[in-house]
């Protein structure tokens, strides 16, 4: 197992790292607890180990003694009485449904931090300006690194909050999925969506046999040579970056400005999530994972955040999941970053 932020937290000698990430026995055990969510044998991680999942969890958590950071907290000026009880950015921002609802795939790379930040930026640009283009997780992944980006390390992990600060200072190019190498964006994601540990299909061919991908080089030029604009001319900057704290303020931020970036602690049981409102029930910590919160609501009396993951639509509920809202489940409400665009 190569070095990642998650792997650094877990001894390579831990036997449970070689255990299956998802199984029928695990799903049955979770479902017998009769909690607020349902588990299954995840098609995304069939035949994968806990170590495979940990390699995708590349985000510093607040207990890191040196590198963890959040930008300054912000407070909106709106009144809380105007905040709806339920909100879903994938449907409630007209014209941006296809953009916000699109689930990407970080592939065999610990780039969740780059996806969580660039996708929230992407969705907010659509909401604020009507942009119907894709912005590049690749540009963030390759070029937001080292001291200037909270000691982010590409496919070995990074900080989504630092990426937001980088978006303000440097900006980001356009860049869609790996399949979009058609001249429409500057830096499409270099790693294809693929069948990581399961039988390949037409939509998800087999992943390369040599394992996890190396971090792409920051070239500061467009990867797709069919794209007509220059790299520097294609850059778009965020105006500000900030953090948001407190359930009500997070709800206000999402319903006013759009999705936010968040991070949380992944435990073994999370891998087998299927439907319902996730809350940690069993299993050890695998690492920190960055995602995008797109909405919130209530299901069967249980409050939730609706979240878009970057593990492709074969995982969870078509690539999305819900997590318990209002109790800082897995630390998710303490790690919110966003920005004006």
Report, as an integer, the average pLDDT of 285-304: 97
Indicate the range of 5-9, 77-81, 333-337 predicted with least confidence.
5-9
**Residues 40, 44, 49, 51, Cα dihedral to 10°:** -120
CA pair distance 307, 231, nearest whole angstrom = 31
CA pair distance 24, 112, nearest whole angstrom = 27
Quick count: other Cβ atoms within 10 Å of Cβ 238? 24
Instruction: Please confirm, yes or no, whether 289 is among the known catalytic residues.
Output: yes
Does the pLDDT value for residue 56 go beyond 50? Answer: yes
Quick count: other Cβ atoms within 10 Å of Cβ 331? 15
Task: Answer yes or no: are the C-beta atoms of 75 and 280 closer than 8 Å.
Answer: no
Instruction: Show the beta-strand stretches assigned E in the chain.
Output: 37-39, 87-88, 242-243, 260-267, 273-278, 285-299, 302-308, 320-324, 336-338
Predicted local confidence at residue 66, as pLDDT: 53
Instruction: Please confirm, yes or no, whether 112 is among the known catalytic residues.
Output: yes
- Of 280, 289, 312, 330, catalytic: 289
Give the burial class of 232: count Cβ atoms within 10 A of its Cβ; 0-12 exposed, 13-18 middle, 19 or more buried.
Answer: exposed
With pLDDT > 70 as the criterion, what percentage of the chain qualifies?
Answer: 88
Does the pLDDT value for residue 77 go beyond 60? Answer: no
Would you state the structure tokens that stand for residue 56, as one six-digit string? 């995708």
Does the pLDDT value for residue 175 go beyond 60? Answer: yes
What is the CATH architecture of 5-338? Answer: Alpha-Beta Complex (3.90)
Compare 6 and 292 and report the one with higher pLDDT. 292
Which residue in 96, 100, 328, 133 sits closest to 236, CA to CA? 133
Predicted local confidence at residue 55, as pLDDT: 86
Predicted local confidence at residue 320, as pLDDT: 98
Compare 57 and 235 and report the one with higher pLDDT. 235
- Of 122, 156, 257, 309, catalytic: 309
Predicted local confidence at residue 206, as pLDDT: 74
pTM of the model: 0.91
pLDDT in tens, 96-155: 999 999 999 999 899 999 999 999 999 999 999 999 999 999 999 999 998 889 889 999
Predicted local confidence at residue 321, as pLDDT: 98
What is the average pLDDT value for the chain, to the nearest integer? 89
Instruction: Please confirm, yes or no, whether 309 is among the known catalytic residues.
Output: yes
CA pair distance 309, 318, nearest whole angstrom = 9
CA pair distance 24, 218, nearest whole angstrom = 42
- Of 57, 96, 109, 112, catalytic: 112
């Amino acid at each position: 197992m190569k070095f990642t932020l998650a792997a650094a937290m877990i001894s390579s000698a831990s036997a449970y790292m070689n255990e299956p990430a998802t199984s029928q026995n695990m799903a049955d055990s979770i479902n017998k607890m009769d909690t607020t969510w349902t588990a299954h044998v995840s098609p995304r991680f069939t035949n994968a180990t806990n170590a495979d999942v940990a390699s995708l969890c590349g985000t510093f958590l607040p207990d890191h003694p040196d590198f963890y950071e959040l930008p300054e907290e912000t407070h909106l000026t709106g009144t809380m009485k105007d905040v709806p009880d339920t909100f879903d950015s994938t449907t409630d921002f007209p014209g941006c449904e296809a953009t916000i609802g699109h689930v990407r795939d970080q592939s065999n790379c610990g780039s969740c931090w780059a996806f969580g930040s660039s996708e929230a930026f992407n969705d907010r640009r659509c909401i604020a300006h009507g942009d119907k283009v894709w912005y590049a997780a690749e540009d963030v992944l390759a070029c937001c690194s080292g001291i200037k980006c909270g000691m982010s390390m590409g496919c070995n992990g990074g900080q989504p909050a630092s990426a937001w600060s980088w978006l303000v200072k440097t900006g980001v190019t356009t860049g869609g999925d790996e399949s979009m190498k058609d001249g429409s964006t500057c830096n499409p994601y270099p790693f294809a969506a693929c069948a990581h540990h399961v039988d390949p299909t037409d939509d998800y061919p087999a992943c390369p046999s040599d394992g996890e991908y190396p971090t792409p080089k920051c070239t500061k030029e467009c990867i797709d040579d069919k794209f007509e604009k220059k790299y520097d001319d294609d850059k778009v900057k965020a105006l500000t970056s900030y953090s948001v704290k407190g359930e009500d303020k997070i709800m206000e931020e999402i319903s006013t400005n759009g999705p936010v970036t968040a991070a949380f602690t992944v435990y073994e049981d999370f891998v087998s999530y299927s439907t319902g409102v996730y809350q940690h029930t069993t299993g050890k910590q695998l690492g920190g994972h960055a995602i995008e919160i797109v909405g919130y609501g209530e299901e069967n009396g249980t409050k939730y955040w609706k979240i878009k993951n970057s593990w492709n639509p074969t995982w969870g509920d078509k690539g999305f999941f819900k997590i318990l809202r209002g109790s800082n489940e897995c630390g998710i409400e303490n790690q919110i970053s966003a920005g004006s665009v």
